[in-house]
Amino acid sequence: MLVFPQDSNLTKHTNLPDLPACFQLSVLPWTPCIYLWLASPFYILYLKKNNRGYIMMSILNRIKTVLGLMLWIVCWTDLFSSFHEMSQNQSKPPIYFVTPLIVGMTMLLATFLIQYERLKGVQSSGVLFIFWTISVLCAIVPFRSKIVSVLCFQNGVEDKLRFTMFYIYFGLTLIQLILSCFNEKPPLFLSVVTDPNACPEITAGFLSKMTFWWFTSMAIKGYKSPLENKDLWLLNKQDSSELVVPNLLNEWEVEKSKAQSVSPEEEEEEEEVLLSKWKEVRQPSFLRALLRAFGPYFLIGSAFKLLQDLITFVNPQLLRLLIDFTKQTNAPLWWGYSLAFLMFGTSLLQTLILHQHFQYCFVTGMRLRSGIIGAIYRKALAITNEAKRSSTVGEVVNLMSVDAQRFMDLTTFLNMLWSAPLQIILALFFLWQNLGPSVLAGVAVMVLLIPFNAFIAMKTRTYQVEQMKHKDDRIKLMNEILNGIKVLKLYAWEVSFKEKILQIRQKELTVLRKTAYLSALSTMAWTSAPFMVALTTFAVYVTVDEKNVLDAEKAFVSLSLFNILRFPLNMLPQVISSIVQASVSLKRIQDFLSHDELDPESVDRRNNASGNGADINVMVPQGSLLAVVGHVGCGKTSLVSALLGEMEKQEGQISIRGSVAYVPQQAWIQNATLRDNILFGRPYVEQRYRCVLEACALTPDLEVLPGGDQTEIGEKGINLSGGQRQRVSLARALYSEADVYLLDDPLSAVDAHVAKHIFDNVIGPEGALKGKTRILVTHGISFLPQVDNILVMVDGRVSEMGSYQDLLKQNGAFAEFLRNYSLEDIIEDDEEEEEFPEDALSNHTDMVDNEPVVNEARRQFMRYTCIFNASRSASCFGFVTSNPKKMSRRRRCSERKHPESPTEKKEPKLEKLIQAETAETGRVKFKVYWEYAKAVGPFLSLFICFLYGCQSAASIGANFWLSEWTNDAQHNRTQDQVSMRVGVYAALGISQGVLVMFSSFTLALGKIQAARKLHQTLLDNKFHTPQSFFDTTPIGRIINRFSKDIYVIDEVLPSTILMFLGTFFASLSTMIVIICSTPIFALVIGPLALIYFFVQRFYVATSRQLKRLESVSRSPIYSHFSETITGTSVIRAYGRNAAFVLMSDMKVDENQKSYYPGIVSNRWLGVRIEFIGNCIVLFAALLAVIGKDKLSPGLVGLSVSYALQVTMSLNWMVRMTSDLESNIVAVERVKEYSETQTEAPWIVTDKQPPPDWPPKGNVEFADYSVRYREGLDLVLRNISLKVEGGEKIGIVGRTGAGKSSMTLCLFRLLEAADGEIVIDEVKISEIGLHDLRSKLTIIPQEPVLFSGTLRMNLDPFEKYSDEEVWKALELSHLKRFVSNQTSKLDLECCEGGENLSVGQRQLVCLARALLRKTRILVLDEATAAVDLETDDLIQSTIRTQFEDCTVFTIAHRLNTIMDYTRVLVLDKGQIAEFDTPTNLIAQKGIFYGMAKDAGLA
């Protein structure tokens, strides 16, 4: 068959080329047939498995079928004519029988496939499209040669029948090709038809899928207006959690069952197995499960990758032919054109195949993540408590976020594991053919660079760890500073803390600088590697042997092969490291998934409620109330857990009749609305719901919450007090209408009167649950007489059981328990009174009458009712409606403990306290780039660009020199100049490397400078910002600027800029080179640049918004997960596992819904940009062919090899533009907070008061008014009073009367709206803030400590000697405590002073005041925080130590101020009474009423 006697003259060296007839009859028609017969078995199998429902016969389908049959008839007409001729004794060669037979059969197969696809619901067939394309391409040659032969031989057509038939055949295949571009209707009953927002990919045609054309609609939508969640398509069915997760879990189950089925021989050797470690039972392998679940799909991607790798090497060969072509003077032009188009074709094919491969890999990655997250979530709901304890919530959430993410990232690279070695081997093979053994020199350089890069990577990693540590320290300190900013302002300590932050920042920047220098080195290696390789190879090649001549073919083909080599060599180390990471992750996930699970059968849910655990026998009759009591840790909660089936069961049985409701000791609250928390997935019934709220005493709380029962509850119930949480938890149980109620100490968190209400209305014999079986774990004795049975537990055993009366008679453990507790109970009640009933003022007497210590209780009560003095938020409810309990709790747990005016709560519509954070949409303004350039330094910015320009110039110069060098070969002036050629080439290349390094270094300097500047301005501004800003801005937002945005500016932004500049100049130099060699190329650039610009704008707009949506939808997955882990027992008790799994799946799908278009947008962009790159290749080659007489082969090689590289840099340039735009936003956000309005200057030089000011301590308010913020009402109105030095003034008044405001005004935390304050003849509004604040002292209501030594907390500026500090500690009664510590004054305080008790913290604040010892002291009396002893200590110290100072005390308990000089009573911001305490009591005014309430009058 392969006997082609004609020589190549017929084909190549003529202006009318033609292929031999034999070839035309055999190979060409057979090619498509072989393809189809090979592909169809696999294809039919695939269709059998993936049936999507059938498609109705359509006109399109009918036409295709008819055409297929016609083609079959045409082919067989040929066959029969051959038989006919045979019968006429005209013998034909066998090929005339074989070919039509084969082609005819193939056409029948194609027709069969058309119908089979219709039945299986394929809308557009790739297999057939490729078949028709190959057929048409193969038929073009005979098509032309037949016409040519007719024109050449004048005697007309010899074989008319075959001639006609061939053209009919050609026409029909062409029509089939065109028709196969169109889509069929979607199959019947496909969900897509019904779903308005389905992903168009499902119905997209083959061509549309290959070029990702179906994505264009979203790109356009995203360009017109920023995308929102509703614009996103639904996930494809096969990517959704509902299919992916069960699939993975089934495989995992199979794995586990395999691992468990140990063969019998092994069982006999059980003892040996135990002895010998190496005979372990094989662990179920999660990897196998993953491979079985996701492997097959991933392999399709790998097949694409293999194809792409092979095609990659076609282009260098074509380049060789092209350069060869330009050398030959007589070569026909058609050969050049076909080479150019072949190059274009292979590039195009490579693009399409590569992006298909990526698509498959990314989708696999996406499914992997869904699967792993789903598996972990489901496991977390089922594992035993013991297993749960072995890993913290954070660790498990990490499995989900970090480890699942690692797998996702790995899938994209995984194919590189075999593809990189393959590429390297192929490249080396071709290089060896080209240059012989001298290639090894180049390869050696590459191999040497690998350890160099690895070393740099290791160093960088250690630096990164160090930097993370500094960053964490900085954020932690920043967080503390922002939480205690008020105290810093009051003490005028800002400077000291600013220094601390800047010190940490300095360390951070030093590490950053080291990292930057390292990365500059690695950039240099990366950039100059290809050049160094080429240099060594060429130098060795030329010097080894005189005969070796470097011509254009060798040089540029080698260069393009080296460029191919660069990628796999760089990727391999990365892939290996990410595989190592993923294997660690795999192990962790596998361990987690192999934990023991709870046995769902451990509790028998049928017969009566009874239980027997560790020798426990309990029988609870239906409908009775059993109280379980006992000391702490005696196993009460374990009993409840056992009933729920949460404990490991050793022996015995537990059975419960009916459904269960469970109230845990620590209430578990979801991040949902209050109503959803109570309904917990049950339908809403108005009547029942109201009753439940009423019974659980939640109705008054709803009135207080901003949105009633639709209020969104924060994570872990952050915006509810402890008591409220417990009651919501109880309400959930009550609403669920179960048969058995397990109540684990639900009354501990609520206060006494509420506990009574709940017991009476819910749990007790008359409550809503009467008639249900109730098991109540409790510590409160008061309710025990009313329960049916009492179970007393001691050390995990039941010691006795019976009714209250019986147990008292027995005088056993229970009686002893009662005796112990009754004493504690009274003391406890004292503490409990923290939370009094709503109408406390009117009837608190009858509540406490039966208490022995009425007076004490009243005193307590006064302390508690005035608890929220500074929390203005309470004022609008007045006293009577407010619920002190809630306020007090809220007062402590809320983030904003700062004063807030009364008007705000009443009219929430007026102005939201916290403005929503604005997210920038749309394009980033040029101004922001300019801001960053200014921070880097405008001159430096220009210089960096200039260096990049130089480096590109050097690289172009080196390559031009190479092309000149290769031209020597033609003119035979080789040997004499070798050393000169090599020398200059080396010099240019090395200078390029040096320039790269310089530009990276300067960029590093610039980035450090910018980072320092931007952080410095942000920090300065935040320390100078007035208090009101911190009241209205959540701390999280400010911290976010300091952590995330500064991190982006430090690390992400500079590397993006580096890549961007690199790719930009690379693309630019390509254009320059091509234009230099073929100037006419400039015409093509215009239209291509236009397309590029459009694609880029569409992509950037869409992908930026998709990234935002993706990151917004990611955090709910993790927060929902960590919430679930903490509440597993509740979820299981109520049997809500499935619902929660569904919620998690929905959240994951929601996230993947925005992630998927993000992947596709990259593919969409890639195909389009690479198409532009391929066009550049095409035009460069075409123009080289046209201008072949004027061009030297060296120039052709140069311009085409540059063009072959451009695709990559164009693609990256668009990505980098997009990244640059998303990251530069950080600069904008930091700028926004660096320019907020500042407070008055800290020091006014020309108005500085004398150093001993104030000498006497006289204070005068003159007609003084103040408001919190612009646009709010006045808090103090026209206050005028004079205080002589040394007077002691008590300030009293209701909540919201303006007591705290007076003190804040003295410190100018609030600036006057009107009037003046004068201290010793100095108007305080004229001097600097620090001059004022450092001369006053305050003991604040809430003691704030910062992490650091005790010494630093007392004296941050180190002004005082150790003796003075010890003296102050002695006077503040802390000396004993501190001297008992090992580290004495260097005692480390934790964040917020957590390791000291509240009382000790208050004493530390007193010590601060004693150290400063200023003329004027403000005492904002502590409320619930401090016990009475501490309070009395503080009072007595103040009386003795501050005898001659002016003292202002904001009093909550009147007995502390009864001996003060004068008392100021404020009411609604005005002075109501101002006189000595005795006179005021005599006047019988407001003060008298307060004193009477406190039992002092």
| One-character DSSP codes across 674-690 | HHHHHHTTSPP-HHHHH
Which amino acid is located at 635 in the chain? G
pLDDT score for 918: 53
In Å, how far are 397, 1128, 1262 from 1115, measured between CA atoms? 11, 20, 54
Q: What pLDDT was estimated at residue 365?
A: 92
- Two structure tokens written together for 1310: 């609030």
* CB 427 within 8 Å of CB 511: no
Which residue, among 717, 722, 719, has the nearest Cα to 749 in the 3D structure? 722
Give the span between the Cα atoms of 1225 and 325, in whole angstroms.
52
Amino acid at 692: V
Eight-state DSSP code of residue 1494: T
- What DSSP designation does 111 have? H
- Beta strand pairing call for 1470-1475 and 1462-1467: antiparallel
Q: In what order do the strands lie in the sheet with 610-611?
A: 603-604, 654-655, 610-611, 618-619
CA nearest neighbour of 466 among 404, 431, 513, 434: 513
How many whole angstroms separate alpha carbon 1130 and alpha carbon 1133? 5
C-alpha dihedral over 543, 544, 548, 551, to 10 degrees? Answer: -50
**Measured between alpha carbons, how far is 423 from 573 in angstroms, rounded to an integer?**
15
Residue with structure tokens 């460069």? 1180
Strands ordered across the beta sheet of 660-663:
660-663, 740-744, 773-777, 625-630, 789-794, 797-802
pLDDT of residue 16: 63
What are 1419's two structure tokens? 């005492």
At residue 595's C-alpha, the angle toward residues 593 and 596, to 5°, is: 130
Q: How many Cα atoms within 13 Å fall on the side-chain side of residue 698?
A: 29
- Strand 603-604 to 1336-1339 pairing: unpaired
Interatomic CA distance for residues 1051 and 1008, integer angstroms: 10
pTM, 2 dp: 0.76
Amino acid, res. 329: T
CA nearest neighbour of 199 among 1237, 1480, 1356, 1153 = 1153
CB within 8 Å of 522: residues ≥ 6 apart: 453, 456, 457, 460
pLDDT of residue 1008: 92
pLDDT attached to residue 716? 66
Looking at the DSSP assignment, which residues form a beta bridge with residue 1317? Answer: 1261
Q: At what angle do helices 884-893 and 854-865 cross, to 10 degrees?
A: 50
Helix segments in 651-737, DSSP class H: 674-679, 686-695, 699-704, 722-735
Beta bridge partners of 1298: none
- pLDDT of 1295 reads 66
Q: How many CA atoms lie within 13 A of 1010 on its CB side?
A: 33
Measured between alpha carbons, how far is 296 from 294 in angstroms, rounded to an integer?
6
For residue 1254, is the peptide bond before it cis, meaning its omega torsion is within 30 degrees of 0? yes
> Are 1159 and 363 contacting, i.e. CB atoms less than 8 angstroms apart?
yes
SS3 readout for 206-274: HHHHHHCHHHHHHHHHHHHCCCCHHHCCCCCHHHCHHHHHHHHHHHHHHHHHHHHCCCHHHHHCHHHHH
Could you tell me whether strands 789-794 and 797-802 are parallel, antiparallel, or unpaired per DSSP bridges?
antiparallel
Length of the chain: 1497
Per-position DSSP letters for 779-806, written without gaps between them: --STTGGGSSEEEEEETTEEEEEE-HHH
Contact 864, 1424 (CB under 8 A): yes
Beta strands in 360-455 (DSSP E): none
Asked if 1136 contacts 681 with a C-beta cutoff of 8 angstroms, the reply is yes
Kindly tell me the sign of the dihedral angle through the C-alpha atoms of 935, 939, 944, 948. positive
Measured distance CA(1315)–CA(1271) in Å, rounded? 18
> Cα torsion for 1111, 1113, 1116, 1121, to the nearest 10°?
-90
Neighbours of 822 (CB within 10 A): 11
Q: What is the mean pLDDT of each run of 10 residues along the chain (1497 residues)?
A: 41 63 79 91 87 82 91 88 83 82 91 89 86 90 81 70 87 91 76 70 86 92 88 88 92 88 50 46 83 91 93 91 86 87 93 93 93 92 79 78 84 88 91 88 84 85 88 88 87 89 93 89 81 87 82 87 82 82 88 84 59 61 84 75 75 78 86 86 88 85 76 72 83 88 80 78 84 83 83 81 84 76 46 36 33 40 37 32 34 35 33 50 75 90 92 90 81 69 89 88 90 92 87 81 87 88 89 87 89 88 86 84 85 88 93 92 92 92 87 87 84 84 85 86 83 84 84 84 88 78 85 86 86 86 82 84 87 82 78 73 85 85 57 79 86 78 86 87 84 74
Q: CA-to-CA distance for 287 and 416, rounded, in angstroms?
A: 19
Q: How many CB atoms lie within 10 A of CB 1143?
A: 18
| Lookup result for tokens 């950037």 | 1100
User: Packing angle between helix 884-893 and helix 722-735, nearest 10 degrees?
Assistant: 110
* pLDDT on residue 1354: 86
Structure-token pair, residue 81: 């004519």
pLDDT on residue 281: 55
CA distance 720 to 1280: 41
Cα radius of gyration rounded to whole Å, the chain: 42
**Pair of tokens at residue 739:** 């048969």
Beta carbons of 1416 and 1381 less than 8 angstroms apart: no
Report the run of H or E that residue 775 belongs to, with start and end: strand 773-777
**DSSP-assigned states of every residue in 1275-1325:** EEEEEEEEE-TT-EEEEEE-TTSSHHHHHHHHTTSS-EEEEEEEETTEETT
pLDDT value, residue 181? 87
For residues 1135 and 1024, what is the distance between their CA atoms, to the nearest angstrom?
54
φ/ψ of 833, rounded to 5, equals -70, 0
The single residue listed with the structure tokens 């909540």 is 1295
